[in-house]
């Protein structure tokens, strides 16, 4: 249904679902049409409820702009104030529910949105993003005959939160291992590539990632900030050995996975023997934390319950 058709229909609806609500489109639509919906679910993913300059690491020097940073701060104050007002109005109408992708996300939503904490607690669910079926239907099998390198990283190159600089430090300090980095961006136009690193500037279709991972011994996936970190969750679910950052969100998502090793971001430049990590494969009975039964199916069930409660 187009927006024009919706506005002409004049029907009442059980439910509206708003994913990552934004001021420009979602808030405008909901303010105009909230009376037509019995309940509204907001699915909160991250940046939409965070003051970005307070959370995201500073851009790399070649990509910094004082003007953009200042404008981001101004916009975020407006964004958080506008969303707070919207959520509070909907709470007064007993219309609002929240789905958060992690407990970390819920915690920081409450730190930044001025609303009723008790009402959020009583009207919210933690539902993780699901792993793509390609990482569930098959399992990691190291393909020694088509081995490409010891470590693989799949990361945007220009966003410091994904830690390309940490990967480089790791590679420089562990010159006895080889590394391939897949990603697009300008980082290596300004920084040297270590001799044991190869950079492949290309986008990989999600369905093709599992077969590619089989050609490597371990995934190296640091992060400085995530509300979940879906790619790392998928790699862990696939069964590949994986090294990630020892920060709260990574622990929340991956602590149960025996094939995941956590390193503090301050120690990615340390020289260590990682041979034991490279052998963390063929592990049986990995958690099904990001399978559909614990994610998509759970979300569908919660939505059905909300609809039925309003019938």
Q: In this structure, is the dihedral angle defined by the CA atoms of residues 53, 55, 61 and 64, taken in order, positive or negative?
A: negative
* Cα Rg, the chain, nearest whole Å: 22
Closest CA to 211 of 282, 134, 132, 131: 134
Per-residue pLDDT, averaged over 12-27, amounts to 93
Q: How confident is the model at residue 311 (pLDDT cuts 50, 70, 90)?
A: low
Backbone angles phi, psi at 39, to 5 degrees: -135, 150
pLDDT the model gives residue 3: 72
Distance CA 190, CA 31 (A): 46
pLDDT the model gives residue 282: 83
What does pTM read for this prediction?
Answer: 0.94
Query: pLDDT for 40-85, tens place per residue?
Result: 999 999 999 999 999 999 999 999 999 999 999 999 999 999 999 9
Q: Is the pLDDT of residue 10 over 80?
A: no
What percent of the chain has pLDDT above 90? 86
In the chain, CATH 3.40.50.2000 covers 134-287
Distance CA 284, CA 170 (A): 29
Q: Is the pLDDT of residue 4 over 80?
A: no
Question: H or E element: which one contains 245?
Answer: strand 242-245
Per-residue pLDDT, averaged over 177-195, amounts to 97
Domain 134-287 in CATH 3.30.70.3170: no
pLDDT the model gives residue 5: 73
Closest CA to 30 of 100, 91, 90, 114: 90
Residue 309: both structure tokens together: 């409660």
pLDDT the model gives residue 310: 67
pLDDT the model gives residue 284: 86
- Ramachandran sector of residue 35 (left: φ over 0; alpha: ψ -120 to 50; beta: rest): alpha
Q: In this structure, is the dihedral angle defined by the CA atoms of residues 49, 54, 56 and 59, taken in order, positive or negative?
A: positive
Q: Which residues contact 129 (CB under 8 A, 6 or more apart)?
A: 101, 228, 230, 233, 290, 295
Closest CA to 17 of 302, 311, 295: 302
Per-residue pLDDT, averaged over 159-185, amounts to 96
């Amino acid at each position: 249904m187009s927006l024009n058709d919706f506005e002409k229909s004049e029907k009442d609806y059980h439910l509206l679902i708003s994913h990552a609500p934004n001021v420009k489109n979602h808030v405008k639509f909901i303010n105009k049409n909230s009376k037509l919906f019995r309940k509204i679910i907001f699915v909160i993913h991250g940046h939409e409820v965070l003051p970005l300059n307070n959370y995201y690491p500073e851009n790399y020097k070649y990509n910094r702009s004082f003007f953009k940073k200042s404008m981001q701060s101004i916009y975020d104050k407006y964004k958080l104030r506008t969303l707070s007002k919207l959520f509070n109005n909907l709470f007064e109408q007993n219309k609002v529910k929240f789905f958060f992708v992690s407990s970390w996300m819920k915690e920081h939503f409450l730190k930044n949105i001025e609303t009723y904490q008790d009402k959020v607690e009583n009207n919210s669910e933690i539902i993780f993003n699901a792993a793509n079926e390609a990482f569930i239907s098959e399992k990691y099998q190291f393909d020694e005959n088509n081995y490409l390198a010891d470590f693989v990283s799949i990361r945007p190159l220009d966003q410091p939160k994904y830690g390309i600089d940490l990967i480089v430090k790791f590679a420089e300090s562990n010159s006895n291992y080889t590394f391939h980095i897949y990603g697009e961006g300008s980082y290596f136009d300004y920084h040297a590539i270590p001799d044991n690193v190869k950079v492949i500037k290309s986008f990989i279709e999600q369905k093709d990632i599992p077969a590619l991972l089989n050609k490597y011994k371990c995934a190296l996936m640091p992060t400085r900030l995530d509300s979940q970190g879906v790619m790392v969750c998928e790699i862990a679910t696939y069964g590949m050995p994986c090294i990630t950052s020892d920060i709260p969100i990574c622990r929340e998502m991956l602590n149960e996975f025996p094939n995941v090793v956590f390193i503090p971001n301050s120690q990615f430049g340390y020289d260590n023997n990682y041979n034991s990590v490279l052998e963390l494969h063929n592990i049986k009975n990995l958690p099904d934390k990001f399978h559909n039964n614990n994610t998509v199916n759970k979300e569908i069930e919660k939505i059905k319950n909300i609809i039925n409660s309003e019938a």
